[in-house]
Structure 1
Amino acid sequence: MTDLVPDRWLTFDGLANARDVGGLPLTGGGRVRPGVLLRTESLEGLTPGDVARLTGDLGVVQVLDLRKDEELLVHGAGALHAAGVTVHRLSFIPESGRGLPEIDGDTDPMVAHYLAYLGDRSDNVVDGVRRIAALDDGATVVHCAAGKDRTGVLVALALSAAGVPRDEVVADYALSASRIEALFRRWTTASGDPMPAAEEVDRHRPRAKVMDAFLGLLDERYDGPVGWLREHGLTDDELARLRSRLRDEDAF
């Protein structure tokens, strides 16, 4: 597995868990194109300087917001929306009536939550992948609240479909574990609440085994992430477009 180098992290005053997936290797050679797909937590803390960098240097032209309506009402749409960047609302969780699918008792319960995104909001999941593929130019920001679970699932599907090896997809997902404490410090500073106990912070860290198990179940049930996407409406043309969009031709 290729080392996940620190320079994929993006540093902003108002974000703690932001990175570019560009640079990840592709099966058969080449790398994911940088400056196409960025993943972050929610965007309400962005400073004017952050917005200028995202829309200027990084060329962000669309945002995929995976949060529930309730989260939007509490925290707002974020400063990129206020700056005129197109925001697509693609909630992965129903506002009510959510049920978790059954999984093997030895499997981490978070896997059921990830499967529920696909079961409850399959149209939004596929639309997220489709919108990443559809841009002719510019970058997409994908975010939820913390940038690890809903964002992790969508990015894992897109990377898998583009041809990133499984171990690299899992490692990119788990990379957010190093930023959970910083996220909590940002949230508690804003709210005035005390930092939670260390064990509570640790409970929220993404674990590689969760994503590995989730993708493994897609292998068993749908012949992999690509099989799931195809079964739920992604066309061969759209899949080819995604791969072309994420492939860095200069890396061969």
Structure 2
Amino acid sequence: MGVRIIHCHAGKDRTGLIAALCSELAGQTRDHTAADDAASGPALRDFYRDQQARRTPEQWAHLAPFAATRTDDIRRTLTHIDQHWGQLDAYLNAHGLPGSDLSALRDRLTRT
């Protein structure tokens, strides 16, 4: 699993999506990307235990479905991008990442 240098509240949803997009740009397989995303789950146990302790049972019931980190979650997201945008580049271009920056990012991610 790579080091994640981006962060959101729990470090798995927005962070996981950006890491997965970068993994795809770097040419990793979808299986590798999904496994890497799911690997963050055990590291979040204490975080979610703390979140549950701070909330009423009703509040936790609303948040609990988001606590699990499953390989199928990121797969569904990436499949949605494939189905609706055709390819990752088109999705990223449409959301503000110009082709020149996309090429530079891909080169940076694949540089050894």
1:234 equivalent to 2:97? Answer yes
1:183 to 38, 41, 47: 47
Q: How many residues align?
A: 105
1:25-64 to 2 correspondence within 5 Å? 38-39=3-4
The 8 Å contact of residues 24 and 33 in structure 2, kept in 1 or not, is answered as: yes
What do the CA deviations read for 1:76-114 (whole angstroms, capped 9, x no partner)?
Answer: xxxxxxxxxxxxxxxxxxxxxxxxxxxxxxxxxxxxxxx
Distance in 1 (alpha carbons) for counterparts of 2:48 and 2:76: 26
The 8 Å contact of residues 159 and 169 in structure 1, kept in 2 or not, is answered as: yes
The 8 Å contact of residues 215 and 224 in structure 1, kept in 2 or not, is answered as: no
Q: Give the 3 Å change call, closer, same or farther, for CA 193–160 of structure 1 in structure 2.
A: same
C-alpha displacement of 1:166: 1.3
The 8 Å contact of residues 218 and 224 in structure 1, kept in 2 or not, is answered as: yes
C-alpha displacement of 1:233: 2.7
Identity level (%): 32
The 8 Å contact of residues 176 and 205 in structure 1, kept in 2 or not, is answered as: no
Instruction: List alignment gaps of at least 5 residues for structure 2.
Output: none
1:206 to 58, 69, 77: 69
1:167 equivalent to 2:31? Answer yes
C-alpha displacement of 1:229: 0.4
Residue in structure 2 matched with residue 112 of structure 1 by the alignment: none
Give 3-state SS (helix, strand or coil) of 2:6's partner: strand
C-alpha displacement of 1:234: 1.8
Post-superposition, which runs of at least 4 consecutive aligned residues in structure 1 deviate over 6 A? none
Distance in 2 (alpha carbons) for counterparts of 1:224 and 1:165: 14
Give 3-state SS (helix, strand or coil) of 2:39's partner: helix
Give 3-state SS (helix, strand or coil) of 1:148's partner: coil
Given residue 145 of structure 1, which amino acid in structure 2 is its aligned partner? H
Q: Radius of gyration: which is bigger?
A: 1
Distance in 2 (alpha carbons) for counterparts of 1:209 and 1:152: 13
CA RMSD of aligned residues (A): 2.5
What do the CA deviations read for 1:13-58 (whole angstroms, capped 9, x no partner)?
Answer: xxxxxxxx2xxxxxxxxxxxxxxxx42xxxxxxxxxxxxxxxxxxx
C-alpha displacement of 1:193: 4.5
Q: TM-score, normalised by structure 2?
A: 0.76
Given residue 177 of structure 1, which amino acid in structure 2 is its aligned partner? G
